[in-house]
Amino acid sequence: MKLLAGNSNRPLAEAIAASLNIPLTKATVRRFSDNEIFVEIHENVRGEDVFVIQSTSSPANDNMMELLICLDALKRSSARRITAVLPYFGYARQDRKSAPRTPISAKLVANLIATAGANRVLTLDLHAGQIQGFFDIPVDNLYAAGEMIGDIEHNFPNGNLVVVSPDVGGVVRARAVAKRVNAGLAIVDKRREKAGVSEVMNIIGDVDGRDCLMVDDIVDSAGTLCNAAAALKAAGAKEVHAYVTHAVLSGGAVARVSASDLESLVVTDTIAMTEAMQTSVNIKTISIAKLMAEAIRRISTESSVSSLFN
């Protein structure tokens, strides 16, 4: 087994390699003066089981091209099997036609990854589970809930919790977490007029005097979380915390979180932390490196991945 890392999230790739006790494959991923991407692998990979670790986060298109070119380089180097490890799968929110004459970009990206040479995909907390069906190759979709639940049990041992879904679409995710931490469930009913802009309408459930934990898969502009936190506070919540898998946090999102009613925003390291995130007082990180490493080990040894969550 070999691990090849792109430039999108080197700290996570190094943590995965350390957990597996395997060095990262020596390779050059650089750019020419006109920003064309060039990849050169400095080790023999013929007949090897190779895992390419690359989140397609910002800059999304550059990181996507890095991934595709790495896959092509491995295919042309006669690797036996190539697994694209995408801790964060970009373009996942474009999983359907949201309006007339719009693309389904998640399907396009799935086609590109398979065409470039990937034999299977390993990812974490897909925005929509049906994206697995966009691929004509096997897809393993991991869940960060286990790591989040461990952190919740450590930091909130006294109960009195309500797990909150920040929108109707995340109810299944929130209910699963609520069941495992023996907490109540609430839902924020919102209306989204356009991408990145939301308005809280109602709070469904009893949050008065309770500690509220919002659970979601992606935080981008953080408008939804901050508006929901304000609405929960207005409804009598004692404290409001959030657990989110993918910290996109674009634009002024970090400043928005810092100035909000959120006591803390706990995210995973699927996306490399920016300096603003590292200096923020209420943004904390938990690592999914061991989870990804164990899944990679099981894929390589042809063991069960789904039993990780039994």
Q: Which residues are catalytic?
A: 190
CB-based contacts of 34: which residues, under 8 Å, 6+ apart? none
Q: Give 153's Cβ-side CA count (13 Å radius).
A: 12
Whether the Cβ atoms of residue 30 and residue 76 lie closer than 8 Å to each other: no
Q: How far is CA 59 from the centre of its chain?
A: 15
CA distance 212 to 56: 31
Please state, in angstroms and rounded to a whole number, the distance separating the CA atoms of residues 79 and 56.
22
Closest CA to 196 of 248, 269, 129: 248
User: Is 148 strand, coil or helix?
Assistant: helix
The number of angstroms, rounded, from the C-alpha of 45 to the middle of its chain's C-alpha atoms is: 28
> What is the rounded CA–CA span in Å between residue 244 and residue 144?
9
Rounded Cα–Cα distance for residues 193 and 200 (Å): 11
Establish whether the linkage from the previous residue to 59 is cis, with ω within 30° of 0: yes
Locate the DSSP E strands across the chain.
2-5, 27-31, 37-41, 49-53, 81-86, 120-124, 139-142, 161-165, 184-194, 197-204, 211-219, 239-247, 264-268, 283-286
Give the span between the Cα atoms of 231 and 225, in whole angstroms. Answer: 10
* Strand, helix or coil for residue 135: coil
